[in-house]
Structure 1
Amino acid sequence: MEKHREGGAAMKFVIITGLSGAGKSQAMKSMEDLGFYCVDNLPPSLIPKFAELCFHAKGDIEKIALVIDIRGGKFFDDLFESLDTIEKMGYAYEILFLEASDEVLIKRFKETRRNHPLSPKGRIIEGIEAERQKLSQLKSRAKHIIDTSNLTSSQLKEEIRKIYVEGLKSENLTISILSFGFKKGIPLDADLVFDVRFLPNPHYIDTLRDFTGDDPEVRKYVMKWPESIVFVEKLKDLLFFLIPYYIKEGKSQLVIAIGCTGGKHRSVTVANILYESLLEKGYRVTINHRDSVKVVRE
């Protein structure tokens, strides 16, 4: 039951948690920008008392976000008991859970030269696997799950804004559209890969070679062919059919990779069209062009 202040609206009480390296600190900064009063690494045993203080603040504090994770060590084990306690007290809360793929987490730890909290002297992957297991029950209680594997800091901030400002009600699935060039290899984290090298190639048109699929001239050329139009429509129909089943399965991240030879023209065009269509359907979707570089002539 959501508890309201006397004569006032319900307080928004959010617990930010998830995997180490998944972006909890960035999420907290985004919440602060949205007017949340944020506390990092509060011992879970103190949550009930903290919640009581906030809910009796007589309107001074309307939005709270707590970052709770395995940095708390043995104190983290008190979390579920504390959550049960505040529920019995009648205080409503919701969990925002952040995660990312093993490959991305390993890369982030190596870039920052940090050790994993659960494996300070061992392999990073061992710490990640242990943390996934430790947080599995907490993840199952999350209202919102964001996979940050393919999100930039600004994209994560936008996702959080959509949830806590616009009241996003879509399922916990983030769809990442990724264009790429087969010359540089297929993305390792791709769930679905579609090859568009059969479409007419703007690379062989002198006036289009230096442009990308983000330019209207290239998009117009790629989509003027009957096979392009039919393919894109069939691809959209396939994705509209598949996505609800991925949501039903409980998948939190779906990476759709569109590839052409260089990753600059055809794949970018098709990726952009898919992104626009999925956005119109109300899905949580991001886009990234891995190999698209526009040539600038002096």
Structure 2
Amino acid sequence: MRLQKKDDFRLIIVTGMSGSGKTQACRNLEDLGYFCVDNLPPVFIPKFAELCVHSAGHVNRVVLVVDTRSREFFDTFVHVLKQMYEENKPFELLFMEASDEAIIRRYKETRRRHPMAPNSRISEGINMERERLAGVRNEATYIIDTSTLRKTELKQKIVRLFGDAYVEQMSINILSFGFKFGMPLDADMVIDVRFLPNPFYIEKMRHKSGAVPEVAEYIAKWPVTQQFMEKLDDLVNFLIPQYIKEGKSQLVIAIGCTGGMHRSVFIARHLFDLLKNRGYLANLEHRDLMKNDVYEHLQ
């Protein structure tokens, strides 16, 4: 079916074989900023699309997942699609499929029953579903065969097809913390900087954070700090493009010292500045700075 678009509104209807990766595709589209509705009866698609078009831009990127789970409602699917096309209502149809072998393997791994044959062999359900979906497949704007695709490869295909100007970069969150307050549970990387010279033992710096120039200069002046920062920069410059290539949408780098006030704050700020200067979407957070009794902090 011919691709249709209208202004900035984009409606993607996802359908296809059970076990072909519709759920994963929907998650990928959610990561791209789409509003997703699963298992919507086809008869409701035109009215739902009309409501979205007239939402004053509040809902203009929509994904509807429609498949054989809607049972008798599914028989109206092709008719609904043709009606929308004739009425010039914008939509794109993504059909997900996979080989019988791949679908059977996935059902065996998850120990789930096939929706078309809950009390029979999986292969029977696959044959019934292929026959029922034949007409819908012929109307597809895009067809993705996931038989041999990894999750990252599927995401790359989804991004290429639907990742337009709204797509965000991988977000990188730089988090300073103190080990005495516990490690952050959501960290992808944890860098321990407790080996660096500690301004805490300098009376005039004890109550100033690592963002204060005086404290930052003290930490930075030592050869061990300079050597560490060079190695850290090299590591991050190597790793981040690899994470982006792999399809990671968010990265949390946690920098920890004892109290989360001096050394971790300084290194986190350094790393944040490095990534911002290289054009990455970076955020900086000092988790435990306010937990220290007395401090002076300058951003």
Look up the match of 1:259: 256
Aligned partner letter, 2:59: I
- Among candidates 255, 272, 275, match of residue 272 of structure 2: 275
Q: CA deviation at 1:11?
A: 1.6
Q: Tell me what 2:90 maps to.
A: 91
Quickly say closer, same or farther: Cα 1:51–1:206, change in 2 above 3 A: same
**Cα pair 1:40 1:66 within 8 Å, conserved:** no
Q: What is the total number of aligned residue pairs between the two structures?
A: 205
Residues 1:186 and 2:183 are matched in the alignment? yes
Offset at residue 39 of structure 1 (A): 11
Give runs of aligned pairs for residues 40-189 of structure 1, distance below 5 A.
Answer: 45=42, 46-51=44-49, 61=56, 64-65=59-60, 85=81, 89=85, 91=90, 140=155, 143=159, 171=169, 173-189=170-186
Encode CA deviations 1:42-83: one digit per residue, 9 max, x unaligned.
Answer: 95743444435766x7xx94563467799xxx77x98xx79x
Give the superposition deviation at 1:233. Answer: 2.2
Aligned partners of 2:9 and 2:61 also within 8 Å: no
Match of 1:286 in 2: 283
Number of the residue aligned with 2:216: 219
Structure 2 gap segments, 5+ residues each: 13-22, 25-30, 93-150
CA separation of 1:204/1:12 partners in 2, compared to 1, >3 Å: closer, same or farther?
farther
Tell me, yes or no, if the aligned pair for 1:170 and 1:283 is still in contact at 8 Å: no
1:211-269 C-alpha deviation (Å, 9 max, x unpaired): 11232222222112232222112211111101111122222222211111111100011
Code of the residue aligned with 1:91 in structure 2: it is P
Task: Quote the residue 1:195 is aligned against.
Answer: 192
Q: In structure 2, which of residues 5, 8, 29 is the aligned counterpart of residue 11 of structure 1?
A: 8
Match of 2:231 in 1: 234
Q: Which consecutive unaligned segments of at least 5 residues does structure 1 have?
A: 20-26, 32-37, 94-135, 145-162
Secondary structure of 2:266's match? helix
CA–CA distance in structure 1, aligned partners of residues 281 and 48 of structure 2: 33
Distance change (3 Å), C-alpha of 1:44 and 1:284: farther
Relative to structure 1, the CA distance from residue 91 to residue 220 in structure 2 (aligned partners, 3 Å threshold; closer, same or farther) is farther
Any conservation in 2 of the 1:14–1:64 contact (CA below 8 Å)? Answer: no
Amino acid at match of 2:250: Q
Matches of 1:284 and 1:214 in 2, distance apart?
21
Contact 1:179–1:259 (Cα < 8 Å) also in 2: yes
Task: Write the distance in 1 (CA, Å) between the matches of 2:38 and 2:235.
Answer: 43
8 A Cα contact 2:11 2:90, kept in partner: no
- 8 Å CA contact 2:199–2:218 kept in 1: the answer is yes
Between structure 1 and structure 2, the one with the greater Rg is 2
Q: Supply the RMSD in Å over aligned alpha carbons.
A: 4.8
Please say if residues 39 and 65 of structure 1, whose CA atoms lie closer than 8 Å, have aligned partners that are also in contact: no
- 2-structure distance, mates of 1:292, 1:181: 8
